[in-house]
Structure 1
Amino acid sequence: MLPRFVTLLAGLSLSGLAQAAATHYPLTIDNCGAVQTFAQAPQRAVTIGQAGTEMLYALGLGDKLVGTSLWFNNVLPEFKAQNDKVERLADNDPSFEAVVGKRPQLVAAQFEWMIGAQGVVGTREQFNELNVPTYVPPSDCEGKDNLVGADGTRLQPFQIASIYKSVSQLAEIFDVQARGEALNNELKQSLDTARKQLAGHDLTQTSALFWFSSADLDIDPYVAGRQGVADFMLQTLGVRNVVESSEEWPTVGWETLAKANPTWLIIARMDRRRFPADDYQKKLEFLRSDPVTKHMDAVRKGRIIVLDADAMQAGIRLFRGLETLSNAFASGKAEQP
């Protein structure tokens, strides 16, 4: 059986493509408070962030990508053939020179702090000066202050509609609206499936903790706060997040987390190695040996779910992550890689 997104694109008939309204250029959109104008569908795009990269692949736009960067996991198998043809500018943050050196007609960043006011890679003004349009997913700017906290602070709960909005906007920018509609329908169906999996299960007393990584294993971990993407995943499935901070990924001490004693621990699996705890095996070793964490119910009872790090982000992997969590919560058994 073909992978889901490959099947999706293959199933789009020529008549379906013809019925979609064409984009009228120049196209102007207000993206995260910055007005961006596209004279034509971009022929050369650079992505800073895996979520945007795989979203473009899912839209069948791999041939428009000339550079990618900021990867947490290896590319999804169904996109490997496309990805093998695209230069990886950096595993983590690319330089401004590396990005503009590809002469892009679009730079799409997964996080606002990459090209926003802080501009880890470069500011939007710098790109504008070179007439390079930029794009930040609404999921990372709407209802969020990215100048507070290491990864920003949510002023309002994350909305799943922001992902559908990204798909629709990127589809409009590249003039592939029918593909955008089909992808959004696929994602919505996946979300409904994850919810229905838990029909009849009482999870009112169930809680969970997302552990993304740690700068070092002997210091406080980065965990998912309230109102963010990971918290949305739990709320969708009827499970309580034990962390109360509104920061996207705050650091919280293990003593506090152990006292909260979540029913489930959800730990990120990464292929990158920026921090020691990016390695999920090191996370597992720590949890089972640390004098504080080894007594947590989730550790003692083996209720530890290993989830791809990018499934905890606002992208198409989130929906697969929901399916993984739903299966575990329904069966009471954790899936291991």
Structure 2
Amino acid sequence: MLPRIAALIAGLGLTGLAQAAATHYPLTVDNCGMPQTFAHAPERAVTIGQAGTEILYALGLGHTLAGTSLWFNNVLPEFKAMNDKVERLADNDPSFEAVVGKRPQLVAVQFEWMVGAQGVVGTREQFDELKIPTYLLPSDCEGKDNLVGADGTRLQAFQVDSIYKSVSQLAEIFDVQDRGATLNADLKGRLDSATAQLAGKDLSNTSALFWFSSADLDIDPYVAGRQGVADFMLRTLGVRNVVESTEEWPTVGWETLAKANPTWLIIARMDRRRFPADDYQKKLEFLHNDPVTRNMDAVKHDRIIVLDADAMQAGIRLFRGLQTLSAAFASGKAAQ
């Protein structure tokens, strides 16, 4: 259990959170329109996506993981010892055979493009045929069409409640509801502290741009669109996203972005190396040397925030990311 969560219980007298009713099996969970039934708490699980992996670690369920995959950053320090005991099936997308070969009783999936109608790993029906339940994080299916755009298009704004829902449902599946309630209390506390730090600060004229990566540094970058997870972070803190597309991570030309001239640039730091721009140092070098980007106010005045890529995703790191952004917006100083 996270030290912060344990302290939260002791300091706030939240011992009542540990009184949640036990799960009654068989349990059926409606997940992204596909009911999934569990005869008992899964004893072996595989995760496809870092967000789901770290949620399970935060719930104290690392011992159930037989394999993980799809990592953007190194695991959070408090989970390193736990993570070192779990086989990494792939840094990016694993094969269908590698996943089912672990004989999982649950496959937790961060993105529908990994396991879905056009899943690069497989479809949910393929897993269902093998009687392997799949759990897709609701944040990537609720109010979103993943068949439009490279990373899907939001039909409505991302709701942070979808993360709390993931925590609660996974906790129920594994019969650790008390841990789920405690984790959600911690996450909500982090969100509240981030917004409180900006109380009374006028950010009505403040704007920002999230740069996730680029397939190559000399072509249009992948940036955060409206209504997605990164946009939620800005809206929560009262900052405007200069990108208007409703795609999750559309590509937009630097000339257009430079014309929008955001107050802040937020760039993703990754440990994966799928694209050249996954390296945040190369992002910084590009921004300071490209004839278009080097004249942007955020570059000239060093208003560039380096944020872990997984903090821009729908998982527990999002709340830490909010706190990082809030501190920078409050002080006017970049965070790295």
Report the Cα distance in structure 2 between the residues aligned to 1:46 and 1:326, rounded to whole angstroms. 34
Contact 1:6 1:58 in 2 (8 A): no
Partner of 2:255: 255
Contact 1:6 1:78 in 2 (8 A): no
Structure 1 residues 208-263: Cα deviation after superposition (integer angstroms, max 9, x where no partner): 00000000000000000000000000000000000000000000000000000000
Contact 1:306 1:335 in 2 (8 A): yes
Q: Secondary structure at the match of 1:112?
A: coil
Partner of 1:107: 107
Report the Cα distance in structure 2 between the residues aligned to 1:235 and 1:204, rounded to whole angstroms. 11
Report the Cα distance in structure 2 between the residues aligned to 1:335 and 1:43, rounded to whole angstroms. 40
Q: Secondary structure at the match of 2:114?
A: helix
Report the Cα distance in structure 1 between the residues aligned to 2:19 and 2:169, rounded to whole angstroms. 18
Structure 1 residues 239-291: Cα deviation after superposition (integer angstroms, max 9, x where no partner): 00000000000000000000000000000000000000000000000000000
Partner of 1:161: 161
Report the Cα distance in structure 1 between the residues aligned to 2:85 and 2:185, rounded to whole angstroms. 28
Partner of 1:57: 57
1:6, distance to aligned residue in structure 2 (A): 6.3
The amino acid that maps onto 1:304 is I
1:9-158 maps to which residues of 2 (within 5 A)?
A: 16=16, 19-158=19-158
Report the Cα distance in structure 1 between the residues aligned to 2:237 and 2:302, rounded to whole angstroms. 20
Q: Secondary structure at the match of 1:22?
A: coil
The amino acid that maps onto 2:116 is G
1:4, distance to aligned residue in structure 2 (A): 2.5
| More off after superposition, 116-125 vs 8-17 | 8-17
Partner of 1:223: 223
Whether 1:234 aligns to 2:257 is no
Contact 2:112 2:141 in 1 (8 A): yes
1:18, distance to aligned residue in structure 2 (A): 5.9
Contact 2:50 2:71 in 1 (8 A): yes
TM-score of the superposition, structure 1-length normalised? 0.97
Report the Cα distance in structure 2 between the residues aligned to 1:108 and 1:13, rounded to whole angstroms. 32
Q: Secondary structure at the match of 1:201?
A: coil
1:195-214 maps to which residues of 2 (within 5 A)?
A: 195-214=195-214
1:119, distance to aligned residue in structure 2 (A): 1.5
Structure 1 unaligned residues grouped into runs of 5+: none
Q: Secondary structure at the match of 1:190?
A: helix
The amino acid that maps onto 1:181 is A
1:8, distance to aligned residue in structure 2 (A): 5.7
Report the Cα distance in structure 2 between the residues aligned to 1:90 and 1:10, rounded to whole angstroms. 38
Report the Cα distance in structure 1 between the residues aligned to 2:10 and 2:87, rounded to whole angstroms. 25
Q: Secondary structure at the match of 2:72?
A: coil
Report the Cα distance in structure 2 between the residues aligned to 1:15 and 1:55, rounded to whole angstroms. 21
Q: Secondary structure at the match of 1:72?
A: coil
Contact 2:9 2:15 in 1 (8 A): no
Contact 2:17 2:181 in 1 (8 A): no
Partner of 1:267: 267
Report the Cα distance in structure 1 between the residues aligned to 2:238 and 2:33, rounded to whole angstroms. 33
Whether 1:334 aligns to 2:321 is no
Structure 1 residues 115-161: Cα deviation after superposition (integer angstroms, max 9, x where no partner): 10001101101100100000001110000000000000000000000
Structure 2 unaligned residues grouped into runs of 5+: none
| More off after superposition, 78-87 vs 16-25 | 16-25
CA pair 12-24 structure 1, distance change in 2 beyond 3 A: farther
TM-score of the superposition, structure 2-length normalised? 0.97
Report the Cα distance in structure 2 between the residues aligned to 1:190 and 1:3, rounded to whole angstroms. 14
- Runs of 4+ residues over 6 Å off in structure 1: 9-15
CA pair 116-11 structure 1, distance change in 2 beyond 3 A: farther
- Percent identity among equivalent residues? 85
Contact 1:12 1:179 in 2 (8 A): no
1:5, distance to aligned residue in structure 2 (A): 4.6
Contact 2:18 2:179 in 1 (8 A): no
Report the Cα distance in structure 2 between the residues aligned to 1:320 and 1:195, rounded to whole angstroms. 12
Partner of 1:314: 314
Partner of 1:287: 287
Report the Cα distance in structure 2 between the residues aligned to 1:335 and 1:229, rounded to whole angstroms. 20
Structure 1 residues 179-214: Cα deviation after superposition (integer angstroms, max 9, x where no partner): 000000110010000000001110000000000000
Contact 2:210 2:267 in 1 (8 A): yes
Q: Secondary structure at the match of 1:184?
A: helix
